[in-house]
Chain A
């Protein structure tokens, strides 16, 4: 496809009035910032939940101030009940995976920068875009309601396995309305994500500027495009699953509940369902979901690294094909979450092969990053530090995946802290490092001001060291048999290792406190930061050719023309060692290659 079709964006008039400009805005930039703000609230909520969990874990009988005020049933006298620990665990996972890791790298940065990077005035469907955000917001409100109902949030984990999540209040506290609110919230979230993914795909296919072939798109744009393709198919499967779950809970159906099930000494009035079906449907969504969480950060990090190294990656094409392979393979591996579910061991083998195969494109990406870094004179700033940190976290978290991919080993390690360490490092921390890198990199463009480099570097080192302190011990703890989703181990065989858990708790508190530095930097710089030039990083992609912050129609009514790929660094350009993507000047390589 040489260029986009003749379709113009459904352009809208410049916004007037506070509500149109900042609340129900059709502008993809405002919507991107709204997603970012929601993710920021969700991540700090999730972080505080993790603090509460860690405090309870090492001091189970301690009184946590203010907790009783928050939930009388969950923490009578300030002492957290074991069930409330599970409630907090469920909400931590749900908030983090859905409202942080899907929102921030994908919806927030993607919405803001994808149209600009392809040279468009806005997304293909600005009204759908606005609906996407406010539907996501509605989903978040519904989820948070679970904290405020008397019974509390559900205790079934972010994976809400059936039959316990389908039978209702017999399954425990929070499993009446708490679990229903979860189901409704996630169903709403699915609709929002589907609309968003549709927008991304249509925009990328149709609204590229003249000269912007698919292969000339920046790597982060490619990452958002591949992610939206994955998201479209994944959320389309989670939505029916949530519908069936809600029907089981409220309409008396039995999609997931077998006959003869006795819970809390009560025979459940259902028959004919399959609990394993939920696991299949959920993980068919759930595994692509983790690639939705990581791919945008991979793209953002690639984009930032090229800029910091002042030379292109070894092969952008291979990076693009690797991202596409990861997207494709992600649909074949879901059963590796179910090795111990009782399914046919032959199925386990069938899932293990593609799981190991998907490590190939991930390794190719890592080798390209590392190979490109070799011999590079990298300019260190907060953004590039977090980009480098991403590679470290991704590899550290990823290598434990090789072990978990094999059923024989996973039988032992499943549901232990080994898995917790794996996914937190490879998905949680790595993805957030990509978000941090993107924030430091794009903040000047979004606000017209620079963030504090000193605070940024301090934030990086605290987070980098802290994350390793928190999650590395989990691998060892898992290997010696520390089970996950247990509220406390002080009285059992894990008692000798409570010291490790105390270390992790302190690390978590300190690392978490460090994030407030970031929050302060973000808010302070927004109002008092040094004014930023149009292109503070001497970068080449189209977002750096427009003012900071960009006007409502991005390119001021002009239609940019693109002449080459976006990674012309290390060349003799008229402005320096780079040539911008919309510059027609001839590209002369600086070194003779």
Chain B
């Protein structure tokens, strides 16, 4: 096996070589595995597919009224989509050069928006309760509460991951590992996509 030794012929070529090498190191440092998180995303998708099929394929009697979704759900949608945007802005501060403090601030904002989403969802449940619509009131409401609750449960797990990420970013540059950011980001974006899907499903079927 032969090895090639680069011999730059000028200092300019040297500098260029160093820049490429640095970019390559940055890329290889990002070559961590996300298999685990994708497998997890796949499993959660399958679970919600089961809930969806339970909803779509139900054969019970259909003499219950259409469920009007509380308007705050749309505000919550804006929150969670905004949180995905802020997470991507955080990624910008980690792309070529690692600036953990700035990235950490944007991750913190993502976390706050996520918390706002959860509070908003709770507000939505309270709104329904004020109308006398509880978990067992009718099959429509049962599905609504189950779907939104299960989603919120997974969002809570995502908040824990974001909190851990923010903590890691508050440390030094050397402490930072790409895997934590990449995997937390995949999971968080998945939560947003899943919410949009559930919102559309509830609008269509309930």
- Interface of chain A: mostly helix, strand, loop or mixed: helix
Which residues of B have CB within 8 Å of A124? 33, 35-36
Q: Knowing A240-B51, A241-B50, A253-B142 touch, does A202 contact B35 (C-beta < 8 A)?
A: yes
Per a CB cutoff under 8 Å, which of A6, A205, A237, A281 touches B28?
A: A6
Partner of B142, one of A194, A247, A274, A281: A247
Contacting residues, chain A, for B136 (C-beta < 8 A): 251-254
Contact among A7, A198, A201, A281 for B54, CB-based, below 8 A: A281
Interface core residue of A201, A205, A272, A281 (most chain B CB under 10 Å): A272
Residue contact B35 to A274, C-beta cutoff 8 Å: no
Chain A positions 231 through 274: 1 when the CB is less than 8 Å from some CB of chain B, otherwise 0: 01101110111011001000111110011000000000001111
**In the complex, are the beta carbons of A5 and B33 less than 8 A apart?**
yes
Q: How far is the CA of A478 from the CA of B170 in the complex (A)?
A: 68
CA distance A139 to B15 in the complex (A): 61
Q: Any chain B CB within 8 A of the CB of A206?
A: yes
Interface check A276, CB cutoff 8 A: yes
Judging by beta carbons under 8 Å apart, are A206 and B33 in contact?
yes
Q: Are A273 and B35 within 8 A (Cβ)?
A: no
B85 located at the interface, meaning its Cβ lies under 8 Å from any Cβ of chain A in the complex: no
Interfacial chain A residues near B61, Cβ < 8 Å: 258-259, 271-272
Q: Given contacts A5-B31, A251-B135, are A274 and B58 in contact (CB under 8 A)? A: yes
Q: Which of B42, B49, B62, B138 sits near A232, CB closer than 8 Å? A: B42
Interface residue? A280 (CB, 8 A): yes
Does any Cβ of B come within 8 Å of A125's Cβ? Answer: yes
Q: Which residue from A206, A232, A247 sits with its C-beta under 8 Å from B135?
A: A247
Distance between Cα atoms of A592 and B35 in the complex (Å): 43
Chain B residues positioned under 8 Å from A276 (CB to CB): 59
Q: A284 contacts the other chain (Cβ, under 8 Å)?
A: yes
| Cβ contact within 8 Å between A237 and B35 | no
User: Residues 13-47 of chain B: 1 if any A CB is under 8 Å from the residue's CB, otherwise 0?
Assistant: 00000000000000010011101100110111011
Distance of A195 Cα from B50 Cα, bound (Å): 18
- Are A125 and B36 CB-contacts (below 8 A) given A253-B136, A254-B139? yes
Chain B nearest CB, measured from A8 CB (Å)? 10
By beta carbon, the residue of chain B nearest A257 is: B60
Q: Is the interface of B mostly helix, strand, loop or mixed?
A: helix
Q: Mark B118-161, 1 if CB is under 8 A from A, else 0.
A: 00000000000000000110110010001000100000000000
Are A255 and B142 interface neighbours, CB within 8 A?
Answer: yes
In the complex, which of the residues A125, A232, A233, A258 contacts B60, with contact meaning CB atoms closer than 8 Å?
A258
- Report whether B33 and A202 are in contact in the complex, using a CB–CB cutoff of 8 Å: yes
Given the contacts A6-B31, A201-B35, A240-B51, A277 and B57 also touching, CB distance less than 8 Å: yes
Chain B residues within an 8 Å CB radius of A272: 60-62, 64, 138-139
A241–B46 Cα distance when bound, in Å, is 12
Contacts of B142 in A (CB 8 A): 247, 253-255
A232 and B39 within 8 A (CB)? yes
Interface size for chain A: under 10, 10 to 19, 20 to 34, or 35 or more residues?
Answer: 35 or more
A280-B28 Cα distance, complex, nearest whole Å = 46
Inter-chain contact B43/A198, CB cutoff 8 Å: yes
Contacts of A255 in B (CB 8 A): 54, 58, 139, 142
Within the assembled complex, what's the spacing in Å between the Cα atoms of A7 and B30? 11
| Contact A254 to B60, CB < 8 A, known contacts A240-B54, A244-B146 | yes
Out of B32, B57, B138, name the residue touching A280 (CB < 8 Å). B57
A293 to B199, CA, bound (A): 37
Distance in Å: Cβ of B197 to nearest Cβ of chain A: 15
Q: Is B33 in contact with A7, judged by CB distance below 8 angstroms?
A: yes
Q: B143: nearest residue on chain A (CB-CB)?
A: A255
B39: chain A residues within 8 A (beta carbon): 197-198, 201-202, 232
Q: How far is the CA of A580 from the CA of B127 in the complex (A)?
A: 67
Central interface residue in B35, B42, B53, B179, by most chain A CB within 10 Å: B35
Partner of B50, one of A236, A251, A252, A273: A236
Q: A232-B39, A251-B135, A254-B139 are in contact. Are A240 and B60 (CB under 8 A)?
A: no
1/0 contact string of A205-247 vs chain B (CB within 8 Å) = 1100000000000000000000000001101110111011001
Complex contact B58–A277 (CB within 8 A): yes
Q: Which residues of A contact B46 (CB under 8 A)?
A: 232-233, 236-237
A243 to B135 CA separation, bound complex (whole angstroms): 13
* Nearest A-chain residue to B40, judged by Cβ: A198
Distance of B52 from chain A, by nearest CB (Å): 10
Which residues of A are found within 8 Å of B44, using beta-carbon distances? 236
Given contacts A201-B39, A255-B142, contact A237 B50 (CB under 8 A): yes
Within the complex, the shortest CB–CB distance from B31 to chain A, in Å, comes to: 6
B53 smallest CB distance to A (angstroms): 8
Chain B residues lying within 8 Å of A235, measured Cβ to Cβ, are 43
Residue of A nearest to B60 (CB): A272
Measured between beta carbons, the chain A residues less than 8 angstroms from B64 are: 272
- In the complex with contacts A201-B35, A201-B39, A237-B47 CB distance below 8 A: yes
Taking the closest CB of chain A, its distance from the CB of B143, in whole angstroms, is 8
Chain A neighbourhood of B139, CB < 8 A: 253-255, 272-273
Extra 18 A-B pairs, beta carbons < 8 Å, given A201-B35, A259-B61, A272-B64: A5-B31, A6-B28, A197-B39, A198-B36, A198-B43, A205-B33, A240-B47, A243-B146, A251-B136, A253-B135, A255-B139, A258-B60, A271-B138, A272-B139, A274-B57, A277-B59, A280-B53, A281-B53
Binding site for B on A (CB under 8 A): 5-7, 124-125, 194, 197-198, 201-202, 205-206, 232-233, 235-237, 239-241, 243-244, 247, 251-255, 258-259, 271-274, 276-277, 280-281, 284
